[in-house]
Amino acid sequence: MAATSLSVANAADLRMSWWGGNSRHEATQKALTYCGDKLGHTIAPEFTSWNGHLTKVTTQLAGGTEADIMQINWPWLPLFSKDGNGFADLNTFKDVIDLTQWSDTELASTTVAGKLQGLPLSITGRVPWFNTTTFEKAGVALPTSWDELEAAAKVFKEKLGDDYYPYEATGLESKGLDARGLIMAYLTQKTGKTMIDPDTLDLNYSVEDFKAGLEMYGRFADNGVIVPWKTVAAAGGNMPLHENPKWADGHIAGTYQWDTTYHKIADPLKEGQNLVPTPILKNADATNDGVFRKPSMLFSISKHSKNPQAAAEVMNCLLNDTGAAEILGTTRGIPASKVALNYLMEKGAIEPVLLKAHQLVLDSTGPAISAFFDHPKIIEVYGDALEMFAYGEMSAEEAAVEIHDGMAEILEDLKK
């Protein structure tokens, strides 16, 4: 096991808080004991389930009683550190924490106003997943571009029937999450920009951009590339993909999902169906991959900590020490830290299909995503207008104006 390359500060009593299930709780406590013994610090664990953890952290931060080290959900950054002053700036501990284990893009995703507010524990992203059995049945190669996906849909209809689709993009149980993900990937490739600037909170897409994305989505629905929104709603719109019998039997043969969801979407498949991840689809004129990737969560240090140097030493041990990596494994996803990831790969501790999907995410190109993409108000404006468009109650132009102007107003309010 590799040793952490840092000098031990005076012994300190620290606290660390996180949420999770039993496997994460047990592994983290063991890792804290390992790092505490190695560094000469004592770290008191404070753990809960997911339910109620946001409320607990919000109350603690408001009263300045938070733990020295905290596990923070990435979309909480705008709530707790809108100006970059919510947590300690980890850049000031670069002599203690080996920040070179993360890429510049990964560090940018948790940086606010130039201040590093946490370290990504795992990077997750969306990749296409295709059922090779259905594609082989249709005699079609797995697509590599949006154009090839449209062409595959035509063959599906001719050879397999009108109720076969090469892709899905709805996610009605979460305001059209999969539909929004599809449009975002297309527009990021087309414009070379992410929807919301992570530094300025400016809206990067014009009305014409949103219109182009909506028209692409509408064309896919009309041409049978994806199951139309209305069809999904009529069959029980709140049913997630992995519970859909048409997914299980291969009638829906592709999806755009997180790299970490393999078991959730693969386990329901009937015998003989085979699911594989592929690089994101993109046409020849794409400026980048446009993969929607983000930190699943991060570790942050309290700005009120009486021993921030010691907290930084513990954080470095938890994330960059191979002994801690062996204990923690993938209890917080596939590690973002290169040294931890490489160690687990060498140990064969990550399933090949999950590793392949994750590597597709890491190898992708594209601008950093803003945590405000998941803001509830942004989701509501986008989802409502997209639904109106999908039902034919708004034109692409009208829905694009609704989305653009609604988001711009929300972002201006959030800047105040």
* % pLDDT > 70, the chain: 98
Quick one: tokens of 298? Answer: 């991060």
Residues in the chain: 416
Quick one: tokens of 130? Answer: 């295709």
Phi, psi (5° rounding) for residue 289?
A: -75, -35
Query: What is the pLDDT at residue 94?
Result: 96
Which amino acid, 317?
Answer: C
Q: What is the β-pairing status of strands 69-73 and 293-301?
A: antiparallel
Query: Distance (Å, rounded) from C-alpha 100 to C-alpha 97?
Result: 9
Q: What is the β-pairing status of strands 254-258 and 293-301?
A: unpaired
Quick one: tokens of 260? Answer: 């970490």
What's the per-residue H, E or C state across 104-164? HHHHHCCEECCEECCEEEEEEEEEEEEEHHHHHHHCCCCCCCHHHHHHHHHHHHHHCCCCC
Query: What is the pLDDT at residue 237?
Result: 64
Query: Distance (Å, rounded) from C-alpha 255 to C-alpha 242?
Result: 11
Query: What is the pLDDT at residue 114?
Result: 92
Query: Distance (Å, rounded) from C-alpha 357 to C-alpha 278?
Result: 7
Query: What is the pLDDT at residue 148?
Result: 98
Q: What tens digit of pLDDT does each residue of 49-108 get?
A: 998 999 999 999 999 999 999 999 998 998 899 889 999 999 999 999 999 999 998 898
Is residue 171 left, alpha or beta, with left meaning phi > 0 and alpha meaning psi from -120 to 50?
Answer: left
Query: What is the pLDDT at residue 282?
Result: 95
Mapping DSSP to helix (H, G, I), strand (E, B) and coil, where does residue 54 land? helix
Is residue 129 left, alpha or beta, with left meaning phi > 0 and alpha meaning psi from -120 to 50?
Answer: beta
List residues bridging with 111 in a β-sheet: 116
Q: Residue 324 burial by CB count (10 A; 0-12/13-18/19+): exposed, middle or buried?
A: buried
Query: Distance (Å, rounded) from C-alpha 150 to C-alpha 104?
Result: 35
Question: Helix H segments across 206-291?
Answer: 207-222, 229-234, 245-248, 262-266
The residue among 79, 95, 84, 89 whose CA lies nearest residue 119 is 89
CB atoms closer than 10 angstroms to residue 108:
15
Tens of pLDDT, residue by residue, the chain (416 residues): 443 434 444 788 999 999 999 999 999 999 999 999 999 999 999 999 998 999 999 999 999 999 999 999 998 998 899 889 999 999 999 999 999 999 998 898 899 889 999 999 999 999 999 999 999 999 999 999 999 999 999 999 999 999 999 999 987 777 888 999 999 999 999 999 999 988 788 999 999 999 999 999 999 999 999 999 999 888 776 778 888 999 999 999 999 999 988 998 999 999 999 999 999 999 999 999 998 888 989 999 999 999 999 999 999 999 999 999 999 999 999 999 999 999 999 999 999 999 999 999 989 888 878 888 888 899 999 999 999 999 999 999 999 999 999 999 999 998 87
Query: What is the pLDDT at residue 53?
Result: 94
Query: Distance (Å, rounded) from C-alpha 113 to C-alpha 90?
Result: 13
Q: What tens digit of pLDDT does each residue of 205-257 get?
A: 999 999 999 999 999 999 999 999 999 888 776 778 888 999 999 999 999 99
Contact (Cβ atoms closer than 8 angstroms) between residue 287 and residue 192: yes
Distances (CA, A) of 195 to 109, 136, 338: 14, 36, 28
Q: Which residue has the tokens 């109106």?
A: 388
